[in-house]
Structure formats: C-alpha cells, structure tokens
Amino acid sequence: MSNQPPADVVVVMIPFVAHGHLNQLLHLSRLISAYNIPVHFITTTTHLHQLRSRLHQYSNAALPNNNNINFHQLPTPTFTSPPPNPSNRFPTHLQPAFESTIHLRHPIADLVASISTTARRVAVIHDVLMSYTVQDVKTIPNAETYIFNPLSACDAFWRKWELKGRPFPMDPDVLNLLPSEDGTLSPEFTEFMIFQYPHVGFHVGELFDSSRVIEGEYIKYLEREEFNDKKKIWAMGPFSLADKLVVTVLGNRHNCLQWLDLQPPNSVIYVSFGTTTTFSDRQFKELAAGLERSQQRFIWVVRSSDMGDVSGDEAKMSDLPVGFEERVEGRGLVVRGWAPQVEILEHVGTGGFMSHCGWNSTMESILAGVPIATWPMHSDQPRNAFLITDVLRVGLVVSDWEHRDDLVSSLVVEDVIRRLIDSSEGERVRKKAVELAEAVRRSVSEGGECRKEADSFVSYINRE
C-alpha cells in the first residue's frame, strides 16, 4: 500500500461470493468512486475472475486497478462443489463456496489495516453474510463498518419482524397474502447465517440496494427502534441505475438484441431464471411446451446453474425438446449461457419478464418498466414476488410459494404469457410498471430520493 497516494476517506467493499451480491457491490463501488472517493474491492481470486468475465462489456476503466477502484483478490482453500440438484430449490451445491469465505477473516483484517494507514477514515461496506470475516475491523482505530443487505427491504423487514417476535401488529389481510419462510433456505445455509449473527451489531449503519420510491413503507418499518437499535439506514438504490452515470458500455451488440430490433413494441417475453436455478428435466420440458403453445414471441435464456468453482457455464445444460427451435423459429429465440439482461429488458420490443424474482432481476425489470411473471425459487424470492404482484402490482403469478412443489404445467405457462403480453390485464400491469419506472428514474436526478440518499451517505463518511 506504500505506493498509494494519501486519501482523506477510503471505502472498502467486501461482497459475498454469489454473483448477484458481487454485482450489487460492484455497482455501488462505481457509484461511490464517482464522488472521487477511492474504493478497494476485496473478493476471492475465483470470484473476481467470474466477475471480470461476465462484465467484459463494460468500460475497461471500471474493472482493472485504477486511481478510484482497486481490486484485491484473496485465495481460499481448494473446495469441491457437487453438481446442482434439481430436487433442491435452494442452491445447496454452492455451500462449499459459501463456507470457503470463513478463511478470509485474517487476510481481510490485514488488508484493511494496511489500507487504514493511508487514510483518515476507512468505511468498510460488507455483505451481511461476510460479518464473520470483518469482526477484527472494529480493532482498527480509524475504521468503521457498514452492513450491506443484498435483499429487498420487504424481505428483510418480514424476517426481522418474525425474528423479534412480531413486536407490533400488521394488517391481517397482508399477513394472509404473505408467503411463508418455510423452505426458502437450506438447513446448511441457515446455520451459515446463524454463524454470522454474533458479529453483527458493531456497524454504524445499513445500506440497501433499494429505493424509498419502491419500498418506502418497508424502509420506514426497518428504521423503527424495534429493529435497528438507532443504526442509520441508507436506501441508495437502484445502484445499477445510478451506475449508468459512470459506466460506458462498449463492444458489439449481442445477436439477441439485433433479433429484438425486428419485433413489434412490447411483444416479446424474456424468460430467465438467474444464476442459481436448476429445473428438473420434466419441468424444463413443460416450460418449453408452454412457450411453444403460447404463440407469443420470446427470448429464453437456457443456462446451467452456477457452480461454486465457477465451472457452471461449462456444465451440461438440459436438452430442449426435439425440433423445438425449428418449430418456434422466427417467433422464439434461445440464448445459451450468458445474456445481456439489462439491455434486453430496456429494449422497446420486450413486453414482459418471466423471472425467479431475484432482487437484481426484480430491480432491473422495475427500472425498465417491464412487468414480471413471478416464479420464485428460494431465499428472498417469494417475498419479492409478493412485493411485485400484491404491493406494487406490476406482475402476474406463474407459481405461488405455497404450491412450490407442484409441477407448473405448460398450460399455466401458456396462460400467463398470453395474459401478460396480449390482454387488457397485461396492459394494465405494464402501465403501472412504466409509471413506477419513471418515478424511480426521477429519483436519481438532482434532488431525487436516490440522489439524496447517496449524497447523505457520502457526507456522513466524510464527516469530521
């Protein structure tokens, strides 16, 4: 660190090693660096490689070390990831990768201590699932920690409300609609979360990749004394939208965007289930049949679930039904592997998104003004689906959580796609989605909610 120029305030980012979590804090790194604050992004060698390979389309200045964003890669012990298991909705095959982060405690402490010698203050922003690894930061005199919550404020509130014994009453009608937590996490991951708990509470405040425009009610709940022990909360999102002020997109357009150029406005449903979903062969074929039967235009991203050792993209993907691509040629497009999701959602031809309702995907769809056909798989996704369909009313249900173990038939898939793309009901939710997107985009302009939150956070870490 001796070659680094002295700085007044430095930010250190410590993401969790799931791609969605990494992606969120990369966006936040760019946002904070735009305030002329040096950022140090610390992750494993394996996952930095994954991040770089997936974000190659961005400006080269955003990824290598430079004056404002410095990437640090730390080794972890070798681990073996089992193959994804379609019978487990939660990605249990990633558990060895998750547990490998425990070994980062001392390397992170040493690195933050070294960084602290070059600054008046070090603000360490860490994923809540990395709380164990940052426990020694509190011994560094000029360092302070901030928890990053990678989930929706909606999911965070309801989990805390239950955990604290329902400290105040909530609308019983809402409770009747709220999906249960049952089955959202694996027992092993629940233990991993509990392992983090003793090291939570030393933080100055908490950050959300959300907006008061989207989740204002839930953010206000989280600010109540019963929940945060007078900790500060900043809802600075959507990080990805604010990040657009910083990132320059380079490179050739993906062929699916060229195909979209030829389609009528709002006529295509985009189908993608993120980086951790594994369907059974039977469910995969029902989905394919539903897309075919719908007679609607579609882009379907077919990819294997991520592996902890980042070999997932090379793993065997499910086989499409014989002749499927030939039968849907011209109307449907299958994309294997990675796809430019943000660009697809923002394209005028896209009229709907069939999604697992991961928080990154949810926010990206909201920002694009695209309604969502909800099919949650695990974690915060059932509560995100509830937020989409029952609170914001910008989506339709494909599969509800209480019937999560039922096969979703091709008839259901067909029906939801038709309703979303080609019905007055679909037009109504699309109109609400567009109105919400416009409100969120206004929030990042001067004087908007998002801009105020970011300015407030930067002002706080710069305090004397």
Active site residues: 21, 127
Instruction: For residue 107, count CB atoms less than 10 angstroms from its CB and return exposed for 0-12, middle for 13-18, buried for 19 or more.
Output: middle
Say which residue the tokens 């770089």 belong to.
52
Burial 109-132 (b: 16+ CB within 10 A, else e): bebbbebbebbebbbbbbbbbbbb
Distances (CA, A) of 89 to 188, 194, 209, 305, 336: 13, 20, 24, 11, 21
DSSP 58: B
Q: How many CB atoms lie within 10 A of CB 438?
A: 11
Length of the chain: 464
Task: Please report the DSSP string for 171-187 in residue order.
Answer: -HHHHHHSPP-TTSS-H
Q: How far apart are CA 71 and CA 208, in angstroms?
A: 22
Question: Considering only CA atoms, which of 396, 420, 399 is closest in space to residue 409?
Answer: 399
End-to-end CA separation in angstroms for the chain: 24
Label the pairing between strands 119-127 and 143-149. Answer: parallel
Q: Is the dihedral of CA 299, 305, 311, 317 positive or negative?
A: negative
Q: Is the dihedral of CA 213, 215, 221, 222 positive or negative?
A: negative
